[in-house]
């Protein structure tokens, strides 16, 4: 009964984006690679504006994404003990590997599944976020099978500078965060510029955990009962929110060579120091691998992104753009045992480079057809000892994948009330078969207030380097091996095939007076879905995880959105998502995919200069293991915040996250309890 009441209370109202929205005023680019009103897009799109980010006083992407239903955070996805403190994002249950995160339309080099990015990108530099749900492979290729999240940073539209300072801590003085961000924009004749800087500093939040060490032979998994470290038990702090310092600086320059030609240059650089203590595995100098022992992990990470672009208006009907960018990521990790003397493990250090050349041309064929065509070349290179087949070696192994692609799209105005979009893409991928994907959708205006849209999209994802080659002696309560690895208890390789998907959706939206409503029904069928499977599950010494294909996965779902403006001062928004997932071979549900998630947000302008925001978010039960033997508890979190504008230049804000002091489960990402924050924003 309690569960039903919680669900009903969540499904009777929503939480975050609480404006009554006029769809004609929202223009997006991610869904079609052209500027288009959101009401004419056939895919499902969520737009998070700068105003909405400021209402919740978010510091990072993680704080924004936590409040969007159908985006699920999945922890402990990558093969290192620190993974329990970092989250990847899954859209509509498709999985974190199928979510493509872009920054101003560009891919970022980094960890597979982007578990660090949610804490790296400061919210203060974001103008808006466009989230396209459902496969976008026809425009973006292999890694967009679940959807695309495009983080669009603020542009140099006027001469203005902003300084934002924020400080937060939980009730016991742990998990402190200091956040300082600066942005200045302006123009000189035909040149526009932007310069930003960000400093984020966090202190750790840890919980005491019991442990009992197990000494094993790293080759066979056999227990070494005579090892002096075997059987030692104790209690140690384990970090769930790291001690970290992240510094970012960047600039963009745009110059109008003429009315028709614009050139652009971007340079972004960040450094990250990350430190935590976890329960993992470490080599013992006297011989053997000691499992379930406290280890200290220190990261020194850097990334440099450089891009150049041009946009040329050839004539009134024809426009073309060309973009080149390089993203270089350097990760240096040292993991050392705490209880005994052992070698420093640097196996999870890496160099990652992405080079990309993209050309997009739009042509107004006639009054009814807008043609968009593009060519894309991308090379991804990873150098790491984590993919070295020798688990004791720290020597880097290099793996490269190249993508050569061409796509075409036609946006068709069939008549005054009916628009359609057709698209196709050809991908030539160096480590997989060539692939063609298609997309087709339509939007029909039934009357001035009601639209119905339908969309069909094919998706395609090739396995990443970690899924194929990773060699990790410590992953959760076992080891993790890539599909092609043969080592120890894994005695044969596995031919990991690419995923292929088909998704269908139908949506109806309506505006009636001050109420906007939308309901979306969708069905996704994934062939050969890549998932982690467990072997020797009853034996801690020989248990391992590896990537294999699930023959067929079915995901059915529904999304509901209701925005209502009571008056000029008070408005609310409600969102809910229902997901029904099934592995057809086992009749089991997918892990870390809640059946129900919902959110309720209310905004109230108390006086002209003082505004309040309150939100609730509900996350339903979800399975934690592929056998569906363990299920998480449902939970609900509440946040409140206030914003006071002294004048057009000065504003103060503050609030409390997790007002009810609800603790979440370790597998779902532990929070630090009730969290207080205060900040100041200055514009000059």
pLDDT tens digits for range 511-523 = 999 999 999 999 9
**pLDDT bucket at 479, cuts 50 / 70 / 90:** confident
In angstroms, the CA 482 to CA 463 distance is 10
User: What's the pLDDT at 18?
Assistant: 33
Q: Among 17-21, 265-269, 386-390, which stretch is predicted with the lowest mean pLDDT?
A: 17-21
Give the bridge partners for 378, in sequence order.
356, 403
* pLDDT over threshold 90, residue 504: yes
> Whose structure tokens read 């290099």?
398
In angstroms, the CA 388 to CA 394 distance is 8
Closest CA to 499 of 98, 73, 113: 98
Q: Among 15-29, 42-56, 70-84, 600-614, which stretch is predicted with the lowest mean pLDDT?
A: 15-29
Per-residue tokens: 120: 């790296």
Torsion, Cα 613 616 617 620, to 10 degrees, reads: 180
- DSSP code at position 144: G
**490-495: long-range contacts, CB 8 A cutoff, minimum separation 24:** 490/535, 490/544, 490/546, 494/546, 494/547, 494/548
608 CB burial (10 A radius; 0-12, 13-18, 19+): exposed
In angstroms, the CA 234 to CA 225 distance is 18
Helix ranges (DSSP H) in 422-548: 465-469
Per-residue CA distances from 366 to 360, 442, 538 (Å): 19, 19, 66
Q: Among 13-22, 520-529, 641-650, which stretch is predicted with the lowest mean pLDDT?
A: 13-22
Going 465 to 468 to 470 to 474, the CA torsion angle's sign is positive
In angstroms, the CA 314 to CA 301 distance is 42
User: What's the pLDDT at 69?
Assistant: 63
User: What's the pLDDT at 531?
Assistant: 87
Cβ neighbours, 10 Å, residue 455:
23
Cβ neighbours, 10 Å, residue 418:
12
* pLDDT over threshold 90, residue 87: no
Closest CA to 217 of 291, 292, 289, 280: 289
* pLDDT over threshold 80, residue 280: yes
* pLDDT over threshold 70, residue 600: yes
In angstroms, the CA 327 to CA 264 distance is 16
287-338 pLDDT per residue, tens: 888 989 999 999 999 999 999 999 999 999 999 999 999 999 999 999 999 9
CA end-to-end span of the chain, whole Å? Answer: 54
402 CB burial (10 A radius; 0-12, 13-18, 19+): middle
Per-residue tokens: 197: 């800087």
Cβ neighbours, 10 Å, residue 413:
15
In angstroms, the CA 144 to CA 96 distance is 10
User: What's the pLDDT at 534?
Assistant: 85
Percent of the chain at pLDDT exceeding 90? 64
Average pLDDT over residues 545-557: 93
Query: CA angle 149-150-152, nearest 5°?
Result: 145
In angstroms, the CA 292 to CA 478 distance is 10
632-681 pLDDT per residue, tens: 899 999 999 999 999 989 999 999 999 999 888 888 888 889 999 999 99
> Concatenated DSSP letters for 216-262?
E-TTT--B-TTSTTTT-EEEEEEEEE-EEEEEEEEEEEEEESSSSEE
Percent of the chain at pLDDT exceeding 70? 95
93: left (phi over 0), alpha (psi -120 to 50) or beta: left
489 near 221, Cβ under 8 Å?
yes
Going 31 to 36 to 39 to 40, the CA torsion angle's sign is negative
In angstroms, the CA 33 to CA 28 distance is 9
Where are the domains positioned within the chain? 2-683
Q: What CATH number was assigned to the domain covering residues 2-683?
A: 2.40.170.20
Residue 311 — φ and ψ, nearest 5°?
-130, 125
User: What's the pLDDT at 157?
Assistant: 78
137-164 pLDDT per residue, tens: 999 998 899 999 999 998 887 889 999 9
User: What's the pLDDT at 6?
Assistant: 36
In angstroms, the CA 575 to CA 599 distance is 5
* pLDDT over threshold 80, residue 244: yes
* pLDDT over threshold 50, residue 401: yes
Average pLDDT over residues 196-205: 94
């Amino acid at each position: 009964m309690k569960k039903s009441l919680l669900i009903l209370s969540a499904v009777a109202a929503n939480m975050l984006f609480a404006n009554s929205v006029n769809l004609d005023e929202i223009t997006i680019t991610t869904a079609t690679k052209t500027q288009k009103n959101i009401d004419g897009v056939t895919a499902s799109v969520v737009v998070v504006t700068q105003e909405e980010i400021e209402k919740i006083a978010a510091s990072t992407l993680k704080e924004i994404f936590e409040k969007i239903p159908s985006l699920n955070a999945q922890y402990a996805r990558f093969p290192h003990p620190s993974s329990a403190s970092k989250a990847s994002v899954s859209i509509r249950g498709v999985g974190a590997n199928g979510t493509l995160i872009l920054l101003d339309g560009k891919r970022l080099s980094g960890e597979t599944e982007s578990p660090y990015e949610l804490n790296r990108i400061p919210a203060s530099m974001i103008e808006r976020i466009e989230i396209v749900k459902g496969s976008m492979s026809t425009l973006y290729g292999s890694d967009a099978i679940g959807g695309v999240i495009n983080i669009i940073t603020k542009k140099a539209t006027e001469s203005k500078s902003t300084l934002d300072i924020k400080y937060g801590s939980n009730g016991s003085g742990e998990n402190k965060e200091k956040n300082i961000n600066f942005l200045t924009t302006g123009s000189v004749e035909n040149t526009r510029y932007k310069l930003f800087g960000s400093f984020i500093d966090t202190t750790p939040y840890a919980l005491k955990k019991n442990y009992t060490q197990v000494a094993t032979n790293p080759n066979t998994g056999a227990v070494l009962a005579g090892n002096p470290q075997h059987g030692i038990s104790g209690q140690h702090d384990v970090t769930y929110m790291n001690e970290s310092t992240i510094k970012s600086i960047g600039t963009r320059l745009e110059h109008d060579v003429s009315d028709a030609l614009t050139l652009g240059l971007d340079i972004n650089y960040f450094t990250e120091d990350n430190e935590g203590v976890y329960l993992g595995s470490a080599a013992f100098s006297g011989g053997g691998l000691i499992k379930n022992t406290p280890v200290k992990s220190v990261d020194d990470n850097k990334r440099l992104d450089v891009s150049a672009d041009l946009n040329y208006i050839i004539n009134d009907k024809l426009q073309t753009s060309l973009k080149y960018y390089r993203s270089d990521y350097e990760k240096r990790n040292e993991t050392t045992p705490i209880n005994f003397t052992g070698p420093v493990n640097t196996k999870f250090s890496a160099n990652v480079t992405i080079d990309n050349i993209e050309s997009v041309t739009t042509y107004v064929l006639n009054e009814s057809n807008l043609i968009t065509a593009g060519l894309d070349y991308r090379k991804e290179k990873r150098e790491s000892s984590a993919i070295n087949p020798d688990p004791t070696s720290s020597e880097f192994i290099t793996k490269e994948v190249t993508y050569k692609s061409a796509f075409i799209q036609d946006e068709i105005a069939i008549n005054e009330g009916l628009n359609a979009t057709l698209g196709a893409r050809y991908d030539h991928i160096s480590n997989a078969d060539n692939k063609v994907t298609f997309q087709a959708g339509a939007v029909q205006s039934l009357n001035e207030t009601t639209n119905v849209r339908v969309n069909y999209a094919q998706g395609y994802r090739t396995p990443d380097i970690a899924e194929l080659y990773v060699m990790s002696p410590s992953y959760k309560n076992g080891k993790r091996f890539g599909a092609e690895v043969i080592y120890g208890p894994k005695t044969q390789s596995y031919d990991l095939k690419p995923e292929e998907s088909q998704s269908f959706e139908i949506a109806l939206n309506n505006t009636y007076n001050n109420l906007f409503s939308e309901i979306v029904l969708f069905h996704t069928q994934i062939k050969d879905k890549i998932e982690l499977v467990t072997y020797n599950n009853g034996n801690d010494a020989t248990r391992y995880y590896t990537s294999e294909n699930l023959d067929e996965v079915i995901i059915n779902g529904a999304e509901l959105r209701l925005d209502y403006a009571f008056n000029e001062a008070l408005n609310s928004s409600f969102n809910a998502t229902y997901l029904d997932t099934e592995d057809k071979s086992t009749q089991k549900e997918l892990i870390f995919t809640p059946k129900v998630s919902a959110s309720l947000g209310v905004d109230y302008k108390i006086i002209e200069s003082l505004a309040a925001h309150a939100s609730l978010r509900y996350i339903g039960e979800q399975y934690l293991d592929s056998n569906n033997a363990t299920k998480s508890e449902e939970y609900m979190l509440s946040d409140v915040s206030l914003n006071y504008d002294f004048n057009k230049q000065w504003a103060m804000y503050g609030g409390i996250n997790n007002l009810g002091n609800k603790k979440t489960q370790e597998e779902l990402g532990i929070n630090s309890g009730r969290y207080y924050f205060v900040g100041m924003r200055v514009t000059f």
